[in-house]
Structure 1
Amino acid sequence: MSESPWKSSTDRRNEREEKRIAVLRTAAQAFNEVGYYNTSLDDIARRLNVTKPTIYYYIKNKEEILFECVRIGLERLDSASNDVIGHGGSAYEELVAVMTAYVGVVTMDFGMCVIRVGEEPLTEESRRTLRALKRRIDLKFRSLIERGVAEGSITACDPKIAAFTLSGALSWIARWYQPDGALDADAVAQQSIALLLNGLRPR
């Protein structure tokens, strides 16, 4: 029997999803570089060498693109923290691992979009969905800090304030980090985390 020239439904779905992610990633790059309001669907289409109607095959409108970009970024932050939590060691060691993973995500396209653009241009309903994801990530920071204080690997502190301070400082990296700069993401993560956890005072 000859092989069919038509792809299976599974292959077609996978191909469509790959192209959809390519649209979203290209949009995230544009949003990060020139801003959400300065990016049009025509701009995204030109970057992909396709027509604007092609974009509509994969996404409904620009707001949906931003929602998906931020959602993917937040889910990757959540997933990255899940990957390193619960593998043994002290809460302090796990916190360092989570912070390192956090920097790894916010210095990439979708994670950077979470910080540089965020959910403000979206509807209230979309913002609520994304804020629920943010709370989930924040609670992981707080939980690790609380556990560290209890076991003595982290100094006594207010876990809420500590979590906000750490995640806020790490998030800001996305605003100034340049992939082609002198330091790669790993070096930026190591130096930033050391500074946040050890301070500037000589020991």
Structure 2
Amino acid sequence: MATRTPRKTVGTSSSPWKPAGARAQQREAKRNAVLQTAARLFNERGFHATSLDDIAEQLNVSKPTLYYYVKSKDDILLQCVRTALGMMQAGIAEVRAAGGRAIDQLIACMRIYSRIVTMDFGMCVIRIGEDPLPAPRRKELRRLKAGIDGEFRRLIADGIAEGSLAPCDPKMAAFVLAGALSWIGRWYRPDGGSDPEQIADQAIALLMAGVQQRPPTTAAPVIRKRARARSE
């Protein structure tokens, strides 16, 4: 009886092509690198002063290579801003799903918002914004921003209803809170001496408590007098 030569196991050869899943992951990683680099340059130099050549140079690739991952500079900006707003929406949704008092949810959402505007994508929302984009793209981004604003308004209204926030116009209050937190993205510098968590702590404390000096209460002296009388 003739012996058969064993077949070589499929998949043991060294192929120069990676499996489809690995190729997709690699492509996504490279696309994210393009967006991250572009966002940093947009924030440092400005959108109009940054070219695709500049982005390609930073990544050590040719300009035509970029078109495999993005369509245009407008497309890059859209994806950067969309990424930041998506991060905000996801963070707020997680806070809302966890439940709890409205004021605690509001503070948690403010912390998320503050942290994201110190990141490259978040700073793009604040420093570059939607103005360089064509009208249809601006409309999409405004819709995403409106969703975030709506969440802040609902939390403020709920906080007023539960008695943890002073009566106010939720719309105006949401504009003030988001506007103040957004401005962090204008002046924040990684080498500025304060990390994002410290900045968030101070900003939220100021916004929630204000800066006006409160008159001292009389409750503490009364307590001290009573304690002194008992000791005598």
TM-score > 0.5, shorter chain as reference: yes
Distance in 1 (alpha carbons) for counterparts of 2:13 and 2:174: 57
Report the equivalent of 1:157. Answer: 168
Report the equivalent of 1:32. Answer: 43
For the pair 1:177 / 2:210, whether they are aligned, the reply is no
Alpha-carbon shift at residue 81 of structure 1 (Å): 1.2
Distance in 2 (alpha carbons) for counterparts of 1:112 and 1:106: 5
Report the equivalent of 1:18. Answer: 29
Deviation per CA, 1:4-48, whole angstroms, max 9, x where unpaired?
A: 522111211111111011101100000000100000000001111
Distance in 2 (alpha carbons) for counterparts of 1:86 and 1:19: 33
Distance in 1 (alpha carbons) for counterparts of 2:72 and 2:97: 40
% identical equivalent positions: 54
Distance in 2 (alpha carbons) for counterparts of 1:3 and 1:198: 66
User: What letter is aligned with 1:33?
Assistant: E
Distance in 2 (alpha carbons) for counterparts of 1:106 and 1:128: 21
1:122 to 116, 133, 154: 133
Q: 5+ unaligned residues in a row in structure 2: which ranges?
A: 1-8, 215-232
Q: How many residues align?
A: 203
Scaled by the length of structure 2, what TM-score is found? 0.85
Scaled by the length of structure 1, what TM-score is found? 0.97
Deviating more after overlay: 162-171 vs 87-96: 87-96
Report the equivalent of 1:131. Answer: 142
Alpha-carbon shift at residue 57 of structure 1 (Å): 1.1
Runs of 4+ in 1 over 6 A off after TM superposition: none
